[in-house]
Amino acid sequence: DAKTTQPNSMESNEEEPVHLPCNHSTISGTDYIHWYRQLPSQGPEYVIHGLTSNVNNRMASLAIAEDRKSSTLILHRATLRDAAVYYCIPPPGTQGGSEKLVFGKGTKLTVNP
Amino acid sequence: GAVVSQHPSRVICKSGTSVKIECRSLDFQATTMFWYRQFPKQSLMLMATSNEGSKATYEQGVEKDKFLINHASLTLSTLTVTSAHPEDSSFYICSAHRTGIWGTQYFGPGTRLLVL
């Protein structure tokens, strides 16, 4: 099964960009990379996903390395509300047709005012 | 976007009682839902996969007789913690897989259980 590696924590200042790295050197060529985040005392929420090329949505951008062994989640202007644990999720496993997500420890992002 | 609700959001119960937590997908049908448990300062741990119309699939180490899961419809899964004990106190979170969007799950807001 593919695995991911993320830094335990990162800090940023408000209004500045944040680059959250993730290593996933064992994913296959057809595996998507998903990012979720969990705000304090809430359930996780989907952020973005991608396969090969860079992806943008209203929450963030995802830059995927050409060799697909790593990716970076980019928050263009961090706000205090972006303080959360960010999870880079390896491709869902399959069991009986379902798609399990396995959460690692993620990166705890602290945003300073 | 897709919405998943959980009820109750918070529950306090006495040791030995059973607690039922509901997970609903409000605007889409979910043949598969998942139940997670999260202890303070730890990551989410998958407990079981809930399949509509069939038995749940439990992760290793999770007691199926203690954590009863029922997925009776395409929009509702329930988790019942039977004979709860203080060590069952945790944050329980459900998620629903939306058919056709591979790998994307929508999570409920969580239920905080405190067993006294």
Q: What is the pLDDT of residues A28-63, one digit of tens each?
A: 777 788 899 999 999 999 999 888 889 999 999 999
Q: Nearest CA of chain A to the CA of B72: how many Å?
A: 17
Count of CB atoms situated within 10 Å of the CB of A28? 8
Distance in angstroms (rounded) separating the CA atoms of residues A72 and B9: 33
β-strand pairing of B32-38 with B90-97: antiparallel
The dihedrals phi and psi of B86, each to the nearest 5 degrees, come to -55, -30
Regions in chain B scoring below 50 on pLDDT? none
In which residue are the tokens 């996780």 written? Answer: A44
Distance in angstroms (rounded) separating the CA atoms of residues A16 and A70: 22
Q: What is the DSSP letter of A92?
A: P
pLDDT attached to residue A101 = 83
A window 13-42, beta carbon within 8 A of B: 32, 34, 36, 38, 41-42
In which residue are the tokens 């944040």 written? Answer: A18
pLDDT attached to residue A97 = 43
Chain B residues with CB inside 8 Å of A44's CB? Answer: 44, 93, 95, 107
Size of interface A-B (CB pairs under 8 A): 70
Position A68 confidence tier, pLDDT thresholds 50, 70, 90? confident
Distance in angstroms (rounded) separating the CA atoms of residues A64 and B103: 17
Of the candidates B104, B95, B37, B40, the one whose C-alpha atom is nearest the C-alpha of residue A35 is B104
Higher pLDDT, A44 or A97: A44
pLDDT attached to residue A39 = 96
pLDDT attached to residue A90 = 76
* Tens of pLDDT, residues B15-46: 999 999 999 999 888 888 999 999 999 999 99
